[in-house]
Homo-oligomer: A and B are copies of this chain.
């Protein structure tokens, strides 16, 4: 079970009102390689992991991804909360607005609702840890594309922090893969 601590994992500063950028950031709130995908994926894979250490790693990183998901929601919210309807019209946020107002929603930048088809849990630790390493690489890439189209310094600072975390997670999943592979070595092919 989880306990909520009333703070963000990393401070969120937003320098502009920018509905178009808010729409793009929702890619990481509800897109294929976003933070919701990450959190749900890792927390789902825990039951079939062969060692407590691997279970613990998935729990830790999965829980941290929920905190990142909260950060992205806060970024998107701060970018639109003071926007007038005139500022929203003509931007890619408009289609979001007529459905969800200014609330974040777990869909991608194009407005496609999040689906568990984005994630996988195979009941095989080797396959799952490769899935997780790939997931971190894909999330890293999304952050790079988002940084490339952002010009709000506060947003860029937070996105850089989140990108760094994905690289750290990638490395930790790589280490876990080596340990699990050694553990399984005598009884499995892969």
Contact = CB atoms under 8 A, between A and B. Distances in A.
Interface in A49-104: 59-60, 63, 66-67, 70, 73-74, 77, 81, 85, 88-90, 92, 94-104
A1, A63, A126 interface centre (most CB from chain B within 10 Å): A1
B73 A117 contact: no
A96 B123 CA distance: 11
Contact of A94 (B24, B63, B126, B127): B24
Contact of A40 (B36, B103, B130, B134): B36
What is the predominant secondary structure among interface residues of chain A facing chain B?
helix
Contacts of A92: 92, 94-95
A101 B141 contact: yes
Contacts of A32: 99, 117, 120
A180 B12 CA distance: 27
B103 A45 contact: yes
A8 interface: yes
A146 interface: yes
A93 to B, nearest CB: 11
28 contacts: A1-B9, A4-B63, A23-B95, A24-B94, A24-B95, A32-B99, A32-B117, A33-B122, A40-B106, A44-B105, A47-B102, A47-B104, A48-B102, A96-B110, A98-B109, A100-B123, A101-B123, A103-B123, A106-B116, A113-B117, A114-B116, A122-B137, A122-B142, A126-B137, A130-B133, A130-B138, A133-B134, A137-B190
